Amino acid sequence: MLALGLAWLVTLIWGSSFILIKLGLEDLTPLFFAALRYWLGGVLLYLFLGARREPLFPTLPRRTWGIVVLSGLATYTAGQGLFYTGQTYVSALTGSFFYSLAPLFVLLLGLIHLGRRPGWLQLAGLVVTLVGSGIFFPPAVALEQWPGVVLMIASNVATGYYLILMRTLREQTKLGAIWLTGTALFTGGGLLFAPAFVFEGLPTLTPRAIVIILWLATVNTALAYTIWNTLLKTVPPFELSVLGNIIPLQTALIGWLLFHQHYRLQQILGLVIVLAGVSLVQLDAAVLQRRLAMAQAK
C-alpha cells in the first residue's frame, strides 16, 4: 500500500507539472525554460548518484555512449523543446492529454523500425484512443490551435524514439535507470541551451520564474524520477504504467481546485476514454512479457 501511495503521489506531482509549465511560460521563453529545468534536474540526479558513490562517467563502448546522448537529444533537446513551445498555444490539460499518448507513438514506431506487430488488445486500444481523442479534441478545436497540435505530435514522435532507445539500453546493458535518466537530462537539457540562446536570446528571470524552475527541477524531476525508479523494484511495471495514465486527470483536478479552471464534460469524457485505450495498449504489452517469461522458464 505504501508503494502504491508513493506512486499516486508521483502522478500528482507530475500532473502539477503542466500547470506550472503554463504559469512559467508567462515569464519565460519556452526553449530556455525547458533547457534550464531539465539540465538542472540532471545535475541534481548526478549529485544524488555522487552521494551514493556511484560512477558518473562509467567506461562504456562508444556506441553505448552514442545511444545515451542520442536519447537525451531525442527527448529533451527535441521532444521537450517542441513540447514547451507547443504548450504556448494550448491549455495545460491539452498538453497533459498529448503527453498521455506517448505509448501509442512507441507502438507505431516499434512497428515501423523494429517490425513489432501490435496485438489485438493494442489495436483495440489504438481505436479506443482515436475515438476518445475525437471527443476530447474535435476537429474544429484542433484547427484553432493547429500550431500547438503539430508541435505536440512532433514532440511525441521524438519522445517515442527516446523510449525505444531507453528500452534498447536496458535490454543490452546493466546501466541503472537513475543514471540513464540523469545523463539524458544533463546532455539533452544542456544541448537545448544552444537553440534557446540563438532563437530567444538572453532570458530575464523573474522571482516567480526562478521558484517555478527550482520546484520543477527539484521536486517534479529529480525527486519524482528517483521515487518512480525506486518503485520499479517493488511494483509491477504495468501497474505503474496504468497509474501514470491518470496524470492528465491529476492535471484537471489541480487546475480545478487551485486555479478554478473549468472543463467541458466532453473533455473529461474524451480524456477517460483515451486513458482506457492507452491502458489496453500497455496491458497487451504486459501480457506478452509474461508469456515470454513463462516460455523462457520452461
pLDDT tens track for 134-165: 787 666 666 778 899 899 999 989 988 887 88
Q: What is the mean pLDDT of the chain?
A: 83
Q: For cell 485505450, name the residue.
A: 277
pLDDT at 85 over 90: yes
Given this model, what pLDDT does residue 289 score?
A: 54
Given this model, what pLDDT does residue 239 score?
A: 64
Each residue of 156-201: pLDDT tens digit?
899 888 878 877 787 778 888 889 889 999 999 999 999 999 999 9
Given this model, what pLDDT does residue 220 score?
A: 94
Reported confidence tier of residue 106, pLDDT bands at 50, 70, 90 = confident
**Percent of the chain, pLDDT > 90?**
35
Indicate the pTM of the whole model: 0.83
Given this model, what pLDDT does residue 298 score?
A: 39
Would you say the C-alpha torsion 261, 252, 81, 44 has a positive or negative sign?
positive
pLDDT at 112 over 70: yes
Query: Which residues form the domain of 91?
Result: 2-297
Please report, in angstroms and rounded to a whole number, the separation of the first and last CA atoms in the chain: 32
Reported confidence tier of residue 295, pLDDT bands at 50, 70, 90 = very low
As a whole number of angstroms, the distance between CA 239 and CA 230 comes to 14
Given this model, what pLDDT does residue 287 score?
A: 52
The number of folded domains in the chain is 1
| Most confident range, picked from 43-47, 95-99, 245-249, 286-290 | 43-47
